[in-house]
Structure 1
Amino acid sequence: MVVLKSSDPIHAAAEVDGLQENKTTARLLKEIAVLQEQQQANAFRVKAYRAAVKTIEELPTSIRDLLQHDGIDGLIALPTIGKSIANLIDSNIRLGRLPLLDRLRGESNAETYFTKLPGIGPELSRRIYDHLHIETLPELYAAAQQGRLAEVPGLGRKRVRAIQESLETRIGNTSDVSAFLETDRSIPVDDLLAIDE
């Protein structure tokens, strides 16, 4: 049973929505734990995700409110929530997705999203993703501008040019792709060590 803090119907509805978002977040983290266990990940990591699920399910306030008020540090201050899991929760709240869960499921939005471009089918989309580790159309455009797209096996000069022209139409012919070139997808060493603890 949930006890709402507000008697005002508008604020009470916001509380209910926030608590529902907590349940959704907990369900996604539980799925990560299950998939990691199935894929024989480190038992400590699986246990950490399960403990985080319990903490979030029992949280009396909205994770979103906690993040807005205290930031990532507010999440890390919760029992069983470390930096890596806090960052995942933040990603879910801000972006509405968990890239780690996508990878564990064997899915990538990029792999299906790239197929919307002329000349890119599911197989080529997967090769682009596997070879370049990019997930967005702007990153794909930057890779084409840099010449990295031509390094993907099975892509000839004509096809690369056709993809680039299609991207220019969708994104706009941007001469400054520096914003797309700065994408850092690496995971900080501290985060990796925290996961392995």
Structure 2
Amino acid sequence: MPAINLLVAGRLRDYADVLMQQGEGGFRAKAFRRAADVVATLDRPVDQILSQEGREGLIALPAVGTGIANAIAEMVGTGRWSQLDRLRGELAPEVLFRSIPGIGAKLAGRLAAEGQIESLEELEHAVRFGKLHVKGLGPRRMRMIAAAIVERFGGPTLPRRIIAARPSVSQLLQVDRIYRERTAAGQLRKIAPKRFNPAGDAWLPILHARHGDWHFTAMFSNSQLAHRLHKTSDWVVIYYHKDGEPEGRCTVVTVSSGPWLGQRIVRGRETAEDEEEISK
């Protein structure tokens, strides 16, 4: 068996184990274990599939959808997997970004701090769709970085014309409410993030939940900005995905001024279309 396949399969199983340890119901864990079994028994190295067929070649494998294909591509391209690092409290976006040509230490730090970007998948989307505004990152450099990520990942994470599905505002606010209630009741497992945690305390509660076709992971923000503004017990970051689709992320916050003062809102979803859901 190719060594890279055994490495990737091992990390997929590690992810399934961490999900179970943190209280996930088992559905996602089983999916990752099935994918691990497929990868472990392939006679072709996954990096060869990625280089010759792109991510579509990985997606075509049994039990491997878009989300797991993106994870495999990240492991092959960087040697790390941000989703697993996140659940272990080891997420360090700055280190991940420095694996991409054209991104040095200073820019990597600004991407994590100013851009609030956590993964290469998010970085690729941001530079492709013009949603990234960080000092020192002009159009030419963004094009170079986007091209480097696509080459490393074996193609774009999503075709340009496809918009990733996302849950409704009411679903996200429900996850936020459940997370904060269970945190207050001391019912959630806590992890000890390595970033901004010199004492190594296990302070960060984590929730895994499933509602219909959606899978959610929620935790308080451990970003540099959240610490600076003392919002680590207010801002709730929710990761979400449907089977076969890439992961999305949003942040739920308490409004500090204006007509929704004191209410919880999904940042970036305060449009007229979403107002009715937010105000419920």
TM-score by length of 2: 0.39
Choose the corresponding residue for 2:109, options 120, 124, 140.
Answer: 140
Percent identity between matched residues is 31
- Structure 2 counterpart of 1:59: 42
Which SS does the other structure have where 1:80 is aligned? coil
Report if the CA contact (8 A) 1:34-1:46 is conserved. yes
Q: Cα RMSD (Å) of the superposition?
A: 3.7
Q: Give the CA deviation at 1:175.
A: 6.7
The verdict on how the C-alpha distance between 1:143 and 1:52 changes in structure 2, with shifts beyond 3 A counting, is closer
TM-score by length of 1: 0.54
Decide which structure has the larger Cα Rg and report it: 1
The verdict on how the C-alpha distance between 1:37 and 1:137 changes in structure 2, with shifts beyond 3 A counting, is farther
Q: Give the CA deviation at 1:178.
A: 3.6
Choose the corresponding residue for 2:137, options 155, 166, 177.
Answer: 177
Which SS does the other structure have where 2:43 is aligned? coil
Residue type matched to 2:136 in 1? D
| CA distance in structure 2 between the partners assigned to 1:99 and 1:107 by the alignment | 8
The verdict on how the C-alpha distance between 1:195 and 1:40 changes in structure 2, with shifts beyond 3 A counting, is farther
Q: Residue deviations 1:117-170, cap 9 Å, x none?
A: xxxxxxxxxxxxxxxxxxx74153368789x9xxxxxxxxxxxxxxxxxxxxxx
1:84 and 2:58 aligned: no
- Structure 1 counterpart of 2:241: 192
- Pairs aligned (count): 128
Choose the corresponding residue for 2:88, options 102, 105, 126.
Answer: 105
The verdict on how the C-alpha distance between 1:74 and 1:176 changes in structure 2, with shifts beyond 3 A counting, is same
The verdict on how the C-alpha distance between 1:142 and 1:51 changes in structure 2, with shifts beyond 3 A counting, is closer
Report if the CA contact (8 A) 1:88-1:98 is conserved. yes
The verdict on how the C-alpha distance between 1:79 and 1:141 changes in structure 2, with shifts beyond 3 A counting, is closer
1:36 and 2:19 aligned: yes
Higher strand share: 2
